[in-house]
Chains A and B, each alone.
Chain A
Amino acid sequence: QIQLVQSGPELKKPGESVKISCKASGYTFTDYAMNWVKQAPGNGLKWMGWINTQTGKPTYADDFKQRFVFSLETSASTAYLQINNLNIEDTATYFCTRGDYWGQGVMVTVSS
């Protein structure tokens, strides 16, 4: 069956970086783009952008053009989200999704 399995929760300090993973299984990884979505505590969903899994080209929403990096390890059917220079406002759950299937989400907490 189709699954997107994400890495575990992260606790980071301001200024640090974090890299979270999203491993796909049950389908051909390169047949679907991978999107990333942010959900701050108690808030709604915000689309961060997507990565073309055939070419590796990322596209970022306006609010995520600085400090955010999408990447792939195609041989492992895995997508990554890296956030650099973390700040308190990055505290959120981050989901990967191909639209119809979603990862379980990764809670990233940024606290001094």
Chain B
Amino acid sequence: DIQMTQSPSFLSASVGDRVTLSCKASQNINKYLAWYQQKLGEAPKLLIYNANSLQTGIPSRFSGSGSGTDFTLTISSLQPEDVATYFCLQHNSWFTFGSGTKLEIK
């Protein structure tokens, strides 16, 4: 089974900061990776698919990069509405979610 490791588990940053979240796969998943944002009490929302493609309607401050085993989600300028937990999901072999990064405003 493919394991997905996200880091950090918790991140506190200031409005306007550039924020980088990491997701590492236990084996090569090519670019079969998505990023989701989940706000408290809501369903997850797709942000990025195929590692670096921005889902329609998602602000351009969100971007994804990586391939193989190492992936990154970047928020170029953190906004208050970005407070959420962020999950990565691999779909190269079955489906596995990472454990999430909880992002708060400092």
A47 within 8 A of partner (CB): yes
Segment of B18-26, B64-72, B74-82, B96-104 in the binding face = B96-104
Contact A35:B100 (CB < 8 A) given known A45-B87, A102-B43 = no
**Beta-carbon contact of A100 and B95 below 8 Å:** no
Interface size on B, residues (CB 8 A): 19
- Taking a contact as CB atoms under 8 Å apart, the answer to whether A45 and B44 are in contact is yes
Chain B positions within 8 Å of A, measured between CB atoms, are 34, 36, 38, 42-46, 49, 55, 87, 89, 94-100
Contacts of A45 in B (CB 8 A): 36, 38, 44, 87, 89, 97, 100
- Determine whether A26 belongs to the interface, using a CB cutoff of 8 Å to chain B: no
B97 to chain A, nearest CB (A): 4
Of A44, A61, A103, the residue contacting B43 (CB under 8 A) is: A103
Q: Report A-chain residues with C-beta under 8 Å of the C-beta of B97.
A: 37, 44-47
Query: Quick check: A44 and B49 within 8 Å, CB to CB?
Result: no
Interface centre among B44, B87, B98 (most CB of A within 10 A): B44
Contact residues of A between 80 and 112, Cβ < 8 Å to B: 95, 97, 99-100, 102-105
Contact A35 B87, CB 8 Å, known A45-B44, A102-B44, A104-B43 = no
